Structure 1
Amino acid sequence: ASPDYRRAKILVKRAQEALPDLQVRQATEWMGHRPALPDTVPAMGPSAKRRNVWYATGHGHLGLTYAATTGRLMADLITGVQPPVDMKPYRVHRF
């Protein structure tokens, strides 16, 4: 079996551990590309066009991994607190 098929079976097994009544009768595999920013660096900051709109996007496959850090940085930005890191590399309008 392919590595992707084995991985899919593992995901189903883990889902069934969490949801014992889950029944998987027919499943198909799909693998595609996730959208990402050209430099692969997240974009975080205020919208230039809309007041009170803030962006925190472009984390690629690491959205869950970066969630707590992104939340902290966004909270600082939104409340006007100086973030503990230089936010210039993450500016929304860098492209």
Structure 2
Amino acid sequence: MEITSVIAIYALFWVMSAFLLLPFGIQTADEVGAKKVPGQADSAPANFKPGRVAIRATFVAAVLCAVYIANYVQGWITVDDINIFGTPAGYETPTS
């Protein structure tokens, strides 16, 4: 696997992880007991820390990318393992 492919896969895992981790650890102004700004939505976060989300996403993406690359190298799960529909009628499997 090329290094550019690894970087691209890591970037995809990082963005996915960041979006999945965004809601964790967030508290609203009502939960914290802070004063709301006029016009503020009730669900607006009072303690959003993007640096913390980035650090968490970095670690989660590193683990997911490592597992993905290990699976790529070792071949634990292949396309044939997840093919739930079977081989189409009349399709010949290419031989290598």
**Global fold match (TM > 0.5):** no
More strand by share: 1
Tell me which structure has the larger Cα radius of gyration.
2
More helix by share: 2
Structure ranking higher on relative contact order (CA contacts 8 Å, 6+ apart): 2
TM-score (structure 1 length as normaliser): 0.29
